[in-house]
Chains A and B, each alone.
Chain A
Amino acid sequence: RKEVEQDPGPFNVPEGATVAFNCTYSNSASQSFFWYRQDCRKEPKLLMSVYSSGNEDGRFTAQLNRASQYISLLIRDSKLSDSATYLCVVKKGFQKLVFGTGTRLLVSP
């Protein structure tokens, strides 16, 4: 079993839709959690951190459920520019980040 698991998708949604991605992790000792975004043939970039209390950044909301060991990302009012791969990232130990396989999102007009 992989340490960080994601549905690879693709998720095909129309503009304006709300879409949610989930991610599960296997190591209960994991300390911190993040979502990265990777555009096609580009490098990954930090989208947002995930806090225990949940956090929001504009149209994006991230939540953490430690008991069930899953992380979610909700995107409201999807834009064409949101089309990308969203990577779930778990930090375990000092500076050790483990990436999921990514979930691909395609937003269509």
Chain B
Amino acid sequence: EAGVVQSPRYKIIEKKQPVAFWCNPISGHNTLYWYLQNLGQGPELLIRYENEEAVDDSQLPKDRFSAERLKGVDSTLKIQPAELGDSAVYLCASSESGSNTGELFFGEGSRLTVL
């Protein structure tokens, strides 16, 4: 069974440019997460979806970040315009709704470098 798929794996852009990341969760997983991970830090939640509804976006910097999961499956995370401090790894994860196991399945991440 395929795991969580993210693209692109790597992206280098200049500051003020837009960037978008795509995530395809594990089939049947209704809960989808976007996390941000800086070097030497743990993942920090940006947004969590239950199907197509964003149920927790309190940590998403809404002035420049946006996300969508229109059909409750794939999701995109966009940054516009990117700033130097946005350089990080953007991790997408999914889990079964109602699961109490605490197990999130992460994709390999999209590594962003802003110059």
- B14-43 contacts to A (CB < 8 Å): 31, 35, 40-43
Interface size of A in residues (CB-CB distance below 8 Å): 22
- A62-77 contacts to B (CB < 8 Å): none
Interface size of B in residues (CB-CB distance below 8 Å): 23
- Say yes or no: A99-B109 contact (C-beta < 8 A), given A32-B100, A34-B102: no
Q: Which residues of chain A have C-beta atoms less than 8 A from B35's C-beta?
A: 99
CB pair B42–A43 under 8 Å, yes or no, is: no
CB pair B103–A44 under 8 Å, yes or no, is: no
CB pair B42–A100 under 8 Å, yes or no, is: yes
Q: Which residue of A lies closest to B103 (CB)?
A: A46
- Say yes or no: A95-B107 contact (C-beta < 8 A), given A8-B40, A89-B102: no
Q: Which residues of chain B have C-beta atoms less than 8 A from A79's C-beta?
A: none
- Chain B positions within 8 Å of A, measured between CB atoms, are 31, 35, 40-45, 48, 50, 56, 91, 95, 99-104, 106-109
- Chain A positions within 8 Å of B, measured between CB atoms, are 4, 8, 32-34, 42-46, 49, 87, 89, 91, 95-102
